[in-house]
Amino acid sequence: MTPPSKQDPVALVTGANQGIGLETARRLATAGCTVYVAARNRERGTVAAAEIGARLVPLDVTSDVSVAAAAAQVEADVGYLDILVNNAGLSGPQDDVHDLTGAGIEQVLATNVVGYVRATQLRHRR
């Protein structure tokens, strides 16, 4: 793996195996950043990272263990992040309010609220 040059900004995009996250990661790579595709789904993450010339880091933003492992990987690899794109998220249930469940809403909050806070722990400045 080629080490980033001292000038290259290092960026990590959560939920980057598809959709807006993948497109954001692609544009950051095109702009000259060293990019980490952070993906819960390792298979799709591997394909996405290869497609745009990025590095894969497995990440589930609902897991402290997973965030700590991702932070350790980045720390060992390049030692810092310049840019964190907190993109991973769920649109959540679109059901009638009477069909919503506590478990369903807890999953949305764990991902879209607590997950953003947790993933922000990945941010290490040079």
Ligand X SMILES: NC(=O)c1ccc[n+]([C@@H]2O[C@H](COP(=O)([O-])OP(=O)(O)OC[C@H]3O[C@@H](n4cnc5c(N)ncnc54)[C@H](OP(=O)(O)O)[C@@H]3O)[C@@H](O)[C@H]2O)c1
**Residue 31 C-beta: closest distance to ligand X, Å:** 19
Let me know: does 96 contact 52? Beta carbons within 8 Å. Answer: no
Q: Residue 83, interface with ligand X (CB under 6 A)? A: no
Least distance between ligand X and beta carbon 71 (Å): 14
Which residue among 37, 59, 85, 122 contacts ligand X (CB under 6 A)? 59
Q: Where do the H-state alpha helices sit in the chain?
A: 19-30, 42-52, 64-77, 102-109, 115-120
54 vs 59 by CB, closer to ligand X: 59
Residues 7-26 that bind ligand X (CB under 6 A): 14-15, 17-21
Query: How many residues bind ligand X, per CB under 6 A?
Result: 21
Residue in 88, 57, 63 with CA at minimum distance from that of residue 75? 57
Tokens for 108?
């949305």
DSSP summary character for residue 40: S
Tell me how far, at minimum, the Cβ of 20 lies from ligand X, in Å.
4
